[in-house]
Amino acid sequence: MGAVITACFSRQGHTIIGVDTDAFKVGQINAGKSPIIEPELEKMLGEGVAAGRVSATSDFKSAVLDSEISMICVGTPSKPDGSIDLTYIRRVCENIGEVLRDKPSRHIVIIRSTMLPGSIEGTVIPALEKTSGKKNGLGFGVGINPEFLRESTAVHDFYNPPKTVIGTESVEDFHKVAELYDGIPGPMVHANVRTAEMVKYADNCFHALKIVFANEIGRASKALGSNADEVMRIFSLDTKLNLSPVYLKPGFCYGGSCLPKDLRAIAAAGRALGVELPLMEGIGLSNDAHFNSAFRYLLEQKEEPIAVLGFAFKAGTDDLRESPVVKLIEELVKAGKQVRLYDRNVSPERLIGANKKFIEAHLPHLSHLIVGSVDELVEGAKVIVVGNGNDEARTLLPQLGHEIKVVDLVSGGIKTSTKAAIWRPCA
């Protein structure tokens, strides 16, 4: 990655000093040769060296003294237990910090390596502060600028990034780093450091998930006599629900009359046909884990009653079948909690058909818990669970005069009065 960004930033007109402890790589770069096989790279490095904009060295001191920004691209491999090894990051920060001790001007240290949230705070800043004797923010600035290039198309990806994300504490540092990307297309995002550290993990987890998903649908299709390539081709035509931001907002569990049933059916078919589908089996387990985090939080709350605003499986419907909020209510009642409910779309007299049967089987006492209005619901309540996206929450909560804990399961940008504290299962 260091070699690729050296070549690409130099073509943008910047002067780059590559630093590596590996003498062979330093020699290769100085000879205008690529240390790795990557389309376009050797040609670009050669041009950069010939133009005097690219050089390489093992000498940290001259490189840091003669530059304004250090970009750290060292490896962040796995330890035997899978956890991240920050040894190289720590070492390189110590090396930079030692030089910063004698550098009069402010320097910016930007991490390009992939590192878990907390690594800048827990490893990078302490290593730099200890060795430089300077304070973060004053003598130097830090940040993370995750890299999204892929091997074999790295140069193309550099000039066509899906987005550029720069996580810094200072806005000036952000602008300074952003200038390096002048002329590069795609959204430019300034994020806080911990968010920027996490973005690359969200990306890579999702990319791995997509591959595994396509392969599981492929194995299930094959076992069930469908054409996997056609299934996924048709799947990918749907840019409204499938390949889109829909369903990608952290919130509460999935539920309703379709998703749980259909996932159970695919997983059961896999078991019956001897096809392993651990992802399809695991999706429900992950949903349960998410449910448990909200349930445990509510169990720990001493205050009662717990008011639940909106409990149909989604806003604008009265469908209660496999509503995760109904399950939450059921478990809270079983645990002996006092619960009060209101959903403007659900009144016991109006429940009919499969919906009514579901409630009779799963929550026969539901009707006794339902109150007739939002005012009745919040009267004296110390905890309110916003269970689906009904607009009431948005108008009600900013006006509430008494102290209340809001458990926001919809993550709908809820605003509250200053007396309310918001808890979400995943934010």
Site residues, ligand NAD (CB under 6 A): 1-2, 19-22, 25, 73-76, 88, 91-92, 95, 113-114, 147, 149-151
Q: How far apart are CA 227 and CA 234, in angstroms?
A: 11
Q: Which run of H or E residues covers position 140?
A: strand 140-144
C-beta of 28 vs 168, nearer to ligand NAD: 28
Nearer to ligand NAD, 92 or 329 (CB): 92
Question: How would DSSP label each residue in 381-404?
Answer: -SEEEE-S--THHHHHGGG--S-E
Residue 338's Cβ-side half-sphere holds a number of Cα atoms within 13 Å equal to 9
Helices (H) and strands (E) in the chain, counts: 18, 12
Q: Closest approach of Cβ 84 to ligand NAD, in Å?
A: 9
Closest C-alpha to 193, from 84, 89, 120, 106: 120
- How many angstroms separate the CA atoms of 111 and 173, rounded? 13
**Which residues, in sequence order, are CB contacts of 206 under 8 Å at separation 6+?**
none
What sections of 32-153 are H helices per DSSP? Answer: 41-50, 60-65, 87-100, 119, 125-132
Min dist CB 303 to ligand NAD, Å, is: 46
Alpha-helical segments (H) within 274-408? 278-300, 324-334, 353-362, 366-369, 374-378, 392-396
Residue 114 φ/ψ, nearest 5 degrees:
-85, 120
Q: Assess whether 258 carries a catalytic annotation.
A: yes
**CB of 98 or CB of 281, closer to ligand NAD:** 98
Looking at the Cβ atoms of 195 and 292, the one nearer to ligand NAD is 195
Q: Give me the least distance between CB of 14 and ligand NAD, in Å please.
A: 19
Task: Map residue 334 onto helix, strand or coil.
Answer: helix
Run of H or E residues at 220: helix 193-224
Listed residue (54, 58, 55, 49) closest to 23, CA to CA: 58
Task: Compute the least distance from the CB of residue 37 to ligand NAD, in Å.
Answer: 12
Min CB(77)–ligand NAD separation in Å: 8
Pairing of strands 164-168, 140-144: antiparallel
CB of 275 to ligand NAD, least distance (A): 33
Please, which residue, 25 or 190, has the CB nearer to ligand NAD?
25
Q: Are 304 and 333 in contact (CB under 8 A)?
A: no
Active-site pick, 93, 205, 258, 426:
258
Tell the smallest beta-carbon distance from residue 137 to ligand NAD (Å): 24
Residue 12 CA to residue 158 CA, distance in Å, equals 11
| Residues catalogued as catalytic | 258
